[in-house]
Amino acid sequence: MLESARIEAGFPADRNWARPVAGGLVMGLARGAEDLEAIQRLRYQVFTEEMNAVFPDAADGLDADRYDPWCEHFMVKEAHTGRVVGTYRLLTPANARKAGGYYSESEFDLSGLGAIREQVVEVGRSCTHPDYRNGAAIMLLWSGIAGMMHRSGFRYLLGCASVSLRDDGVTAAEVWRMVKRGLEGASGIPRVTPHHRYPVECLDSALPARIPPLIKGYLKLGATICGEPAWDPDFNTADFPVLLDIRDMEERYRRRFGLD
């Protein structure tokens, strides 16, 4: 199923791995069941063991769900050991239909995407091993994603940026305060609506908090938070919908990822 999903995804069939970068990391696409299992094991370690997320389908040390077989899975490995230390998955419009929808549709009404929906690729299940959270692994993953999007002709990336609620929502309130004004004054930005909205306006937004690195990273790339946050009880997070138009990607990242 993994291989057939790839063939039908509309992405180029190139499976070449990037050359090792500083730190001895390599990036490429999962090639079969063994790679996918290694990815699912890393996700379990990060999401379940570290973040205490509770997934109904997680078992035997693996975080697996019904979307995995329909996705392209980017992975970063240690060149000298082959250990998987980072991952991201992508779901195309065609394969989303076969999977019964995007994963994000469990949290958001995506009808607001309108006509651009057929140009939207969903990204998600992003994680890196604690030893590699210095930015190198995530930039390798993003370079692969950007290159694949460019070659395949898809224009938009949709994902969820999760903010932990273990601080009673203080950070989520800070994120919402930062983006709300821009949303209210913006025109032409597609909007999505959460099924179960997280009530950020009820939180004490006067308390100091830092914007999470993942959201900072998305915004630096040129992405927009395109709606109010949803509450994800599995992760105990407020999930902010993020939309990136590849054509609007910040110039330095376009050059870095070879898009210009």
pLDDT score, position 21 = 61
Residue range 152-160: average pLDDT? Answer: 94
Does domain 2-256 bear CATH number 3.40.630.30? yes
Span 117-135, average pLDDT: 93
Q: Name, in order, each residue with C-beta under 8 angstroms of 164's C-beta and a sequence gap of 6 or more.
A: 51, 171, 235, 236, 237
Residue 13 has pLDDT above 70, yes or no: no
Q: Where are the domains of the chain?
A: 2-256
Average pLDDT of the chain?
86
The pLDDT of 103-131, averaged and rounded, is: 94
Q: pLDDT at position 186, please?
A: 65
Per-residue pLDDT reduced to its tens digit, 69-81? 999 999 999 999 9
- Rounded distance between C-alpha atoms, residue 47 and residue 54, angstroms: 8
What's the CA gap between 220 and 116, in Å, rounded?
A: 22
- Give the pLDDT confidence score for residue 179 in this predicted structure: 84
Degrees (nearest 5) of the Cα angle 69, 147, 156?
70
Whether residue 102 contacts residue 91, with contact meaning beta carbons closer than 8 Å, is answered with yes
Predicted pLDDT at 19:
57
- Where is pLDDT greater, at 17 or 69? 69
pLDDT single digits (tens) 225-244: 999 999 988 888 899 999 99
Asked if 90 and 74 touch (Cβ cutoff 8 Å), the reply is yes
- Kindly state the average pLDDT of the residues 164-169: 86
Q: Kindly list the distances between the CA atom of residue 95 and the CA atoms of 109, 160, 210, in Å, as whole numbers in the listed order.
A: 18, 19, 36
Q: Are 123 and 145 in contact (CB under 8 A)?
A: yes
The tokens for 49 are 């063991």
In this predicted structure, what is the pLDDT of residue 135?
86
| Confidence (pLDDT) at 7 | 37
Burial label for 168, CB within 10 Å (0-12, 13-18, 19+), is exposed
Element holding 184 (H helix, E strand): helix 170-185
